[in-house]
Structure 1
């Protein structure tokens, strides 16, 4: 209590960290959930202290433990998530952060936490390239979160939604039907340079995209998105090579370099090899004549590993469906929801 109520001197800092870490490791999850506000306050003070001492790594493991103890299930997003991810970023402990991001979030302590965790995980830091590379699919769900008024967080999230979609899919999909009308009406008006970027990307011309980025570099830099924008530019090589696989069975490395605007056949070989390793294309390179042969996906879906993967995916979808039915039933019985539905029905009459 004394540590929380006043400033901590440099002499007290070491003892404070040891005390808090020991408390987090030894406390009972059932007990701290009876007084979550106090526990969260302790965790946030720990985060502030390790940042002040410039030792963020010392706070990563304790906050990860704190999250697991505060959660009633791994599907719950807590107020501590954003603090934990901030320390992961500062400590460059990306894999530890990824272990938390891999959880499907179906419960949120506070609505604002959803935006906080999203921006922290997929936000403006170029250091998050590792996470984005692993979790691009999740990043594209950001802007579909419910909102009643447009806010700065949603605008920044949509900018990243555009960039992440281009890197992942080569195009920006339309808003899903369940996206709030507020987002659909207003987000595009506040992100015009990014809309123009996606249009330029769709042309498939590397030189045009590079010129567009150069002419808007100050805007992207001020948004802290220049690192992602550069990844968008780099991904165009990959997207254009994938287009070639849909047209040709064989091509020389020189032809590939010419088609996608690479300087040398060696650069083309490097890109093709990386895409083969990542499973993005199926091809072989003949080193003697520099020819690349493109193949169909060799996966026959007959192996035990694939059967287990399909089964686990089905089980996960069944569990999700059950959870959604439960949430739907809860909402249907919520007095505020029932009142709103009745009011709208009366207004139409």
Structure 2
């Protein structure tokens, strides 16, 4: 490894143009590793010679080496990390996202260790926006940020990311944690409909095996559903079979609580909560369980509105098992204020009159609300149509879907795969279709990198079904090629041969290979 002074000089001199930053990135990759981390204590003074904003990529490499070295770098290091997360260049740090995530993770762990989670909220909120390619993307930093908001009880701060519409998820764990922590934040804000929505997403998300996050989300989902709706909805059809089969077995006490709640008897529910308080406490759900208990009064009062037009406060107290008419009056007034029932109380005779919903949907505010909702649904519909179109061209999806199931002809199916493969090329410089040839020069300038790989793609459409062996080594690959070669010409409907690079100045780097062809497998020698 070069001396630290030389490395810092490279960082200072190569942080300008994109070409310089790309060259710097290659130098930093060569210097990265245990040797850099072993100099962690010596790296800290060099950070003062760099600008977090102008030298973000190099600063990130040095900062990550310090953060992951395990050395005790002192309280001032947290200030250095916080300043970097706030000021760094998004374009540069996105070149090394794993490094950036490591720094964020260590920073979060340190503020938690110091029991000062509030110190990490602003820097991690900035980090979320820096690492996001778009506001629709979910990143691992989202969960780290929401966790700090929870620990610091700064629930409203969490809304800055929870109010975004998320459509892009890279790792399933990020989604589960985002929904779980997000649901807890909305619980803290008493916004139970939004909490229920996020927890529902965690429970019904695709999963091949049950995970602890989904189980804990399901427990809270039952409690929130009882508080909000008085019942727990059954699993929708799109819920994974794993969740439908096993989820209730891991939340049996909560399922029994739901059954007891449905009986409508307050004393029975109170006894159940008290007898299982230790279980609720160990799950950190005792407070929610008590809110479920309190909500039964409201639920029973709402049931009365469906039967009676007028009722005395004394009768309400007796029906819902409240101690006094005064308690019944307080519950009714609170429900009227929250818009949960529509009623008036006659103070002279203590009679409560229940009314229909007075909303006529004619006010300016209601019209604006409906218009906003329609616009949002229209935008969501367009987004879903776009996602559906992208999925229809995804290689993993196409490999699992039979042409007959899609309703496409073989030509349409063949063209979809062809377009998907050709879309991985920066440019097509050579084209030959049915004898018509087109050729053009590669428009990009050489960037100084040498070519590393050649990718050859063969697409064949043929009548009948072919079974290929699993390709593990060169012999298997030769057997597949022989299988293709043995197809009679009369059965072949279409062939395309695609290769990249086609021009001398074009390259396929290892990074681009792994990005564009994630399903390629390395062949072993045996």
Report the TM-score when normalising by structure 2: 0.61
| Unmatched tracts of structure 1, length 5 or more | none
Matching residue within 118, 130, 134 for 2:189: 130
Matching residue within 335, 339, 349 for 1:275: 335
In 1, the alpha carbon distance for the partners of 2:200 and 2:396 equals 30
Matching residue within 101, 126, 131 for 2:162: 101
Matching residue within 284, 289, 307 for 2:349: 289
Q: Tell me the residue number matched to 2:86.
A: 25
Higher relative contact order (CA 8 A, sep 6+): 1
More helix by share: 1
Render the CA deviation track for 1:228-273: whole Å, top value 9, x for unaligned. Answer: 2111111111111111111112222111111111111121122111
In 1, the alpha carbon distance for the partners of 2:404 and 2:123 equals 48
Q: Tell me the residue number matched to 1:185.
A: 245
Matching residue within 142, 149, 154 for 1:81: 142
Render the CA deviation track for 1:104-135: whole Å, top value 9, x for unaligned. Answer: 32221311111122233335x9x953355462
**1:74 and 1:270, CA in 2 relative to 1: closer, same or farther beyond 3 A?**
farther
In 2, the alpha carbon distance for the partners of 1:8 and 1:319 equals 50
- Which stretch of structure 1 is more off in the superposition, 212-221 or 302-311? 212-221
Q: Give 1:344 shift.
A: 11
Q: Tell me the residue number matched to 2:311.
A: 251
Q: Tell me the residue number matched to 2:280.
A: 220
In 2, the alpha carbon distance for the partners of 1:220 and 1:105 equals 32
In 1, the alpha carbon distance for the partners of 2:346 and 2:66 equals 67
Matching residue within 208, 224, 228 for 1:148: 208
How large is the Cα RMSD of the aligned pairs?
A: 2.3
In 2, the alpha carbon distance for the partners of 1:54 and 1:297 equals 48
1:37 equivalent in alignment to 2:98: yes
In 2, the alpha carbon distance for the partners of 1:198 and 1:67 equals 38
Matching residue within 200, 203, 207 for 2:260: 200
In 2, the alpha carbon distance for the partners of 1:342 and 1:160 equals 40
In 1, the alpha carbon distance for the partners of 2:237 and 2:275 equals 34
Q: Give 1:316 shift.
A: 0.9
In 2, the alpha carbon distance for the partners of 1:89 and 1:250 equals 44
Conserved? CA contact 1:89–1:128, under 8 Å: no
Q: Give 1:145 shift.
A: 0.3
Q: Tell me the residue number matched to 2:68.
A: 5
Q: Tell me the residue number matched to 1:61.
A: 122
Conserved? CA contact 2:121–2:148, under 8 Å: yes
Conserved? CA contact 1:121–1:131, under 8 Å: no
Conserved? CA contact 2:193–2:228, under 8 Å: no
Q: Give 1:155 shift.
A: 2.1
Report the TM-score when normalising by structure 1: 0.90
Q: Give 1:205 shift.
A: 0.8
Task: Give secondary structure in 2 for the equivalent of 1:284.
Answer: strand
Q: Tell me the residue number matched to 2:383.
A: 323
Task: Give secondary structure in 2 for the equivalent of 1:251.
Answer: strand
In 2, the alpha carbon distance for the partners of 1:321 and 1:133 equals 25
Conserved? CA contact 1:122–1:128, under 8 Å: yes
In 2, the alpha carbon distance for the partners of 1:59 and 1:27 equals 16
**1:264 and 1:113, CA in 2 relative to 1: closer, same or farther beyond 3 A?**
same
Conserved? CA contact 1:253–1:292, under 8 Å: yes
Render the CA deviation track for 1:266-323: whole Å, top value 9, x for unaligned. Answer: 2112211111111111112222322222121111111221111111111111111111
Moved >4 Å (runs of 4+):
343-346
In 1, the alpha carbon distance for the partners of 2:125 and 2:343 equals 42
**1:132 and 1:290, CA in 2 relative to 1: closer, same or farther beyond 3 A?**
same
Conserved? CA contact 2:391–2:397, under 8 Å: yes
1:116 equivalent in alignment to 2:177: yes
In 2, the alpha carbon distance for the partners of 1:51 and 1:189 equals 33
The number of residues matched between the two structures is 342
